[in-house]
Copies of this chain bind each other. A is one copy, B any other.
Amino acid sequence: MDPVHVVEVKEAVLADNDAAAQLNRDKMKEQGTVLVNLMGSPGAGKTSTLLQLIRRLKDAFRIAVMEADVDSDVDAKTIAETGVRVIQLHTAGLCHMDADMTRRGLEAMGTEDLDLIFLENIGNLVCPAEFEIGADLRLMILSVPEGDDKPLKYPLMFTVSDVMIVNKIDTAPIFDFDLEAAAMRARKLNPDIRIFPVSAVSGEGFDALAAYLADVVRERRAAYENH
């Protein structure tokens, strides 16, 4: 296995993050690529969720992953084993990725030949929600052991996300986790949020999530080809 490509992305942040996000969004649209911002707490299962999705999507689409971390490259190494392109981004202690850091990651990785790019954001339910990166989709993971009250305590994350993935659903009885209560709290903040209960260990629920993502990618490709 080749050594993981590591890029240090911590630098002065652009004054206008939203403008930088729009540049990323325009570039992705222009080249027919879908950019996904994957967020969640430490240990929610972001990397294992990516493994399940990549397994289901890599034959149909050209996929790459940017792994953001304050340190280490353990996740990038895990993803590299799937054979998809992967790059490790180090934020040098920063608790989130912003749009310009994302742009530098995209440029270092190369994106022109890709259909689908995942950014695995820093494990954190607070800061990543505040920084638009120019993604086409924001996926957040709530894992069952964290508790069904999390939408009450970290409302912005649930408000800005297009999808709530409820991971480790097989452990719901052990943790007294009420999926309906979690869903109701998330929908109160964000009536349009899509909810996918999954287990990244068993693979349960991932066919539906992969099919949803495949539709988004196909739609983007069709728009690109008819352009």
Contact = CB atoms under 8 A, between A and B. Distances in A.
Interface of A: 41-43, 69-72, 74-75, 93, 95, 122-127, 130, 143-147, 149-150, 152-156, 168, 171, 174
A69 B122 contact: no
A78 to B, nearest CB: 10
Nearest to A152: B72
Contact of A153 (B123, B130, B153): B123
A125 B125 contact: no
B153 A71 contact: yes
A95 B127 contact: yes
A96 to B, nearest CB: 9
11 contacts: A42-B153, A69-B153, A70-B154, A70-B156, A71-B154, A72-B153, A72-B155, A74-B152, A93-B156, A95-B95, A145-B145
Given A42-B150, A69-B153, A126 B127 contact: yes
A36 to B, nearest CB: 21
How many protomers of this protein does the assembly include?
Answer: 2
A176 to B, nearest CB: 9
Nearest to A148: B43
B95 A126 contact: yes
A9 to B, nearest CB: 15
B145 A171 contact: yes
A74 B126 contact: no
B127 A127 contact: yes
A49 to B, nearest CB: 13
Contacts of A124: 95, 124-127
Given A171-B145, A174-B171, A130 B41 contact: no
Given A125-B124, A126-B124, A127-B127, A74 B41 contact: no
Contact of A41 (B43, B70, B93, B95): B43
